[in-house]
Chain A
């Protein structure tokens, strides 16, 4: 089985799905001859035609707006927005139309659209290249939101996203684009949207996270005496509430880790769900290890912002000692 990084795994998923389904097209800025600024769409233009791999003008709102039109007229667009920070000009089209057309037309018009975008910080980039904006999209009814944490998951989840009848925001943690190599089967497989993954079983604490911080969390608990159960959410909308509640019922202690700002981050929603469904299982207040409520700093001080192993360990200690 070939060992692939996340860029290669996503590339493989696109190639395989596009070969199988002629209605799939890829469009975005620099996705053609350049193969995408992170090379995720490398080779697609050569393998498919210019009418299926489209270098668009520099217009995010345009890319998503026309993708909606492409989708309602029978195609399956996989749009790339070059960086998550540049998705905001398209936010109007995403939230006002892509997410609502099914409801507005009582099911007559649907938008089977995937919007892929490199996501998150940790690569020492310029402003607007390191954001964690998932809450905006999770908060918007009608959208599904996926963030893989491994090459294997990225391939399986992207295939599901492409086949999904509704718009899916597919955020790719750019920090680990090339950091992890993993065996990724050539053969077709998919990972269901809406299902979280227990990446490490444990009995003392439930640690809930996603994206590049799954790896950080695994490292943080490596030498701890506590038995930590790590849940990789994989899909942020819809959340796999049952899996979370099962784990919390078992451990009674919860740490939630994400790089997005704390206020109204995913951890806020998850805490509320645990309160609603498993309050009596809780043995300690839920701890949140998150980004701060500020603009993510430029590279020189970016590391201050990020949840790291030490901050995760401090939170685990705190729930254990409560």
Chain B
């Protein structure tokens, strides 16, 4: 009875677009110029939205907000690969993916400003609301994906979470269910290296997050999360595989949180400026711009034109957000149940009676 290897595994890292804007032609996905413009523009829109949200928060015009700065390629490259009928189950750092999938910026400002109506997502958009508790949404995505198997539909499901989430039990339960039930789901880990102050290496002893998929019997891949082509390709392939009922995929997008965890955090307390500077050079938007410049797809005029277009759009949405009619007192009771129980009607009447 010799000691023998009964199985062995490889963990892949995918990178297509380098920091100087050069691509690996063999790995480059089929993508039109129009699509490249779209990717660039959604990343830029995400950054302009993000910048405005941070400014509004500092001025007391928005609540606590989670910035996406530096993670635009991960967020846009992955959500761009979704088809309209596919479903997205985000965490709380994917505002850009909501924008891409059609949610208006004013709704997002409403949500981050503390108005529940911002998370009423129009019925033609297959997006779940923001999920604040870490990793819990991964199970919802798997369940929804299992339902599509049962109903014999060819829809794919994508869920976002961070590196910290991979320590939660729910994440592992989601991965296990996905594997056992061959759920058409794609797990996108935005590995931005930090769960608030705790660095990735203190989160898990694994060398990669991607390799965690191996234990659950399906494929995991690490991609350069600041390379929009790599993220897009890996997600597109994984979604295709999911729709073909060939199993789930875990994609670890290796990126970096340039901003604080949220506006309630001060990251200068726990990380070195040098590290931040190192990652700033890997900026995902700059990288794509370099590629576009090299391929005559970019001009100063184009940049100015789209920047103005998105800045105007965001400024207009701020106006809409700030002029929206406040919720009535009764609104807070309305969505507890399908119909209001007597005790809530009484509580609502009492609140009216209290007056201002």
Contacts and interface: CB of A to CB of B under 8 A. Distances in A.
B133 A86 contact: yes
B169 A61 contact: yes
Interface in B297-354: 326-327, 329, 331-333, 336, 343-344, 347, 351, 354
Contacts of A62: 167, 169
Contacts of B132: 85, 126-129
A216 to B, nearest CB: 14
Given A57-B204, A85-B133, A298-B116, A30 B198 contact: yes
Contacts of B273: none
Interface in B184-229: 195-198, 202-204
A293 interface: yes
B354 A55 contact: no
A103 to B, nearest CB: 25
A89 B169 CA distance: 9
B63 interface: yes
A294 B343 contact: no
Contact of A292 (B114, B168, B195, B351): B351
Contact of A58 (B203, B264, B332, B347): B203
A301 interface: yes
B169 A300 contact: no
A263 B116 contact: no
Contacts of B9: none
B86 to A, nearest CB: 25
B203 A300 contact: no
Contacts of B165: 58
B19 interface: no
Contacts of A139: none
A42 to B, nearest CB: 10
Nearest to B136: A89
Interface residues of B, number: 41
Interface of B is mostly: loop
Contact of A59 (B115, B169, B326): B169
Interface string B130-168: 101110000000000000000000000000000011011
Interface of A is mostly: loop
Given A89-B170, A125-B63, A300 B327 contact: yes
A304 B344 CA distance: 14
B212 to A, nearest CB: 13
Given A37-B265, A89-B170, A125 B198 contact: no
B332 A294 contact: yes
Given A33-B269, A124-B63, A125-B64, A300 B326 contact: yes
A299 B114 CA distance: 5
Nearest to B267: A34
Interface residues of A, number: 42
Contacts of A59: 167-169
A297 interface: yes
A238 B202 CA distance: 38
Interface in B273-289: none
A311 B350 CA distance: 10
A261 B203 CA distance: 36
Contacts of A89: 133, 168-170
Nearest to A57: B167
Contact of B113 (A33, A55, A300): A300
A224 to B, nearest CB: 17
Given A292-B332, A294-B336, A305-B332, A263 B198 contact: no
22 contacts: A29-B195, A55-B197, A57-B202, A57-B204, A85-B133, A86-B133, A126-B63, A126-B92, A127-B130, A292-B333, A292-B347, A293-B347, A295-B336, A298-B114, A298-B116, A299-B114, A300-B326, A301-B114, A301-B115, A301-B116, A301-B329, A310-B354
Interface of B: 63-64, 92, 113-116, 130, 132-134, 164-165, 167-170, 195-198, 202-204, 264-265, 269-270, 326-327, 329, 331-333, 336, 343-344, 347, 351, 354-355
